[in-house]
Amino acid sequence: MNPDLFQLKELILLFRNQLADRIPWTHEGINPSLEKRPKTLQQWEKDEAYSWIFLETNYLFFWGLSDESNRSQLSLAYPNYPECLLQPAESVYSKWGMQEKKIGDYRGITSLIKEIYKYKRYGIPPPETKESLIVYVKRLKRLVSEETISKKIWKESLGCFLEFVRISIPQEHLGFIDVIFPEDRAFHSDSIIRLIRKEKFPTNIIFTAQILKNLSEEMLWGDVRSQLAAAESLAFSWLCLTSARLQLPTTIKLLRTFDCASLTKEKCPERKALPERYTLKIPTQFGSIPVEISKLLFNYLCILAKNIQTNCSFFCSSQRSLERTFDRAVNQRPLRTEEGEITFTTLTSWPNEVMHYRTQINNARYSKRNTLS
């Protein structure tokens, strides 16, 4: 057995013992597959579920830290923008459309003169002199009205330009654009509505905890060949849930860039209950944001980090392998139709306490027929 995997198993068994000592086990265990369960959760159910989600039996401390982290993000309303968003908008506007485009079997540089001429003449207005990109995008938002969005060419040119902006700036800075014009959006009167993909809608805390338990059980007692993938899938699930505490936009691709340098530890003698602070930096579309985590989760990630070789990803398993392992944990009980698809993306939304069903909205994805590729 991999010695690091043995340490991970010891850590999870230690946590399970702590949980057993803390929660009075005078009841039957959580069974999220029961159809006729009460709508209101009992306190012991919440305690067990949140303990798994935070990997800490004293989870209320970190719950308060989550609220504090959310309040601190309000400063992002007046951020110091990265250089890519402070560049002259005229430069980006002039490059818009001057890309390679595949036409049949011939690949060459095409300027798309007709489309861009049409958009620039009848669509969104050009940027002003010395206007930065972020200021220009904000001005476009102010121009959204019933009159402008009723014009098909104006709406198409806006979508086409924003898609070009998204591929022109680093992914870790897309959040500044996304809060102005969400990638999945709809327009109503002079308002911009963010559309949420079905898999993004949160599930309940009971089912989330059950997924984590299923993954831990596969790591502890599953097939030897799949135990490491289960351990890493469990770690990635906690990474997604930690990102949900920030309530900032991120993606699975960004979270995959997480590395061991993001883990830090410092002493805090002023805190008697927890004299040491353990943090990890979550990759978001606003950059990497530090979040305090439990000692157990910190140690779990540090043990996994020992397997990292030079210039390798934090996770040894491929994303596809992690997803297959996660799917097995999800599908250990039959999913009802209304629950839809549950993936790692689901865990980037904070789980709720609503039982029996998973709320969803049948939103159509924003059309990309005018995306320049």
Q: How far apart are CA 205 and CA 190, in angstroms?
A: 36
Cα dihedral 37/40/46/48 (nearest 10): -20
Neighbours of 282 (CB within 10 A): 26
Architecture of 42-75+201-347 per CATH? Alpha-Beta Complex (3.90)
Give backbone dihedrals phi and psi of 247, rounded to 5 degrees, phi first.
Answer: 55, 40
* pTM for this model (two decimals): 0.78
Give backbone dihedrals phi and psi of 99, rounded to 5 degrees, phi first.
Answer: -130, 170
Provide the pLDDT for residue 361: 44
Would you list the domain boundaries of the chain? 42-75+201-347, 83-198
How far from the centroid of its chain's Cα atoms is residue 87's Cα?
A: 27
Provide the pLDDT for residue 1: 47
Task: Please choose, from the candidates 44, 10, 15, the residue with its C-alpha nearest in 3D space to the C-alpha of residue 238.
Answer: 15
Q: Which residues, including other chains, have CB under 8 Å from residue 212's CB and lie 6 or more apart? A: 52, 53, 234, 237, 238
Q: How far apart are CA 261 and CA 240, in angstroms?
A: 18
- Separate counts of helices (H) and strands (E) for the chain: 16, 7
**DSSP letters of 261-322?**
GGEEEEE-TT-SS--EEEEEEEEEBTEEEEEEE-HHHHHHHHHHHTTPPTT--S-SS-HHHH
Q: How far apart are CA 339 and CA 356, in angstroms?
A: 9
Q: Which residues, including other chains, have CB under 8 Å from residue 275's CB and lie 6 or more apart? A: 267, 268, 269
Which residues partner with 282 through β-bridges? Answer: 289
Task: Please choose, from the candidates 367, 371, 323, the residue with its C-alpha nearest in 3D space to the C-alpha of residue 199.
Answer: 323
Q: What is the largest CA-CA distance in the chain?
A: 73
Query: Per-10-residue mean pLDDT for the chain, 373 residues long?
Result: 79 93 61 53 89 91 59 50 91 77 44 67 89 93 89 90 91 88 85 82 89 95 91 96 89 89 85 82 88 93 74 79 94 66 91 67 39 31
Provide the pLDDT for residue 2: 59
Give backbone dihedrals phi and psi of 191, rounded to 5 degrees, phi first.
Answer: -110, 150
Name the burial class of residue 307, with classes exposed (0-12), middle (13-18) and buried (19+) by CB atoms within 10 angstroms of its CB: middle
Provide the pLDDT for residue 74: 41
Provide the pLDDT for residue 246: 86
Q: How far apart are CA 44 and CA 27, in angstroms?
A: 9
- Take residue 366 and report the two structure tokens written for it: 């924003």
Provide the pLDDT for residue 312: 59
Task: Please choose, from the candidates 109, 86, 112, the residue with its C-alpha nearest in 3D space to the C-alpha of residue 97.
Answer: 112
Neighbours of 277 (CB within 10 A): 17
Name the burial class of residue 25, with classes exposed (0-12), middle (13-18) and buried (19+) by CB atoms within 10 angstroms of its CB: exposed
Q: Using alpha carbons only, how large is the chain's radius of gyration in Å?
A: 24
Provide the pLDDT for residue 144: 92
Q: How far apart are CA 125 and CA 87, in angstroms?
A: 18
Q: How far apart are CA 23 and CA 88, in angstroms?
A: 59
Task: Please choose, from the candidates 210, 230, 178, the residue with its C-alpha nearest in 3D space to the C-alpha of residue 333.
Answer: 210
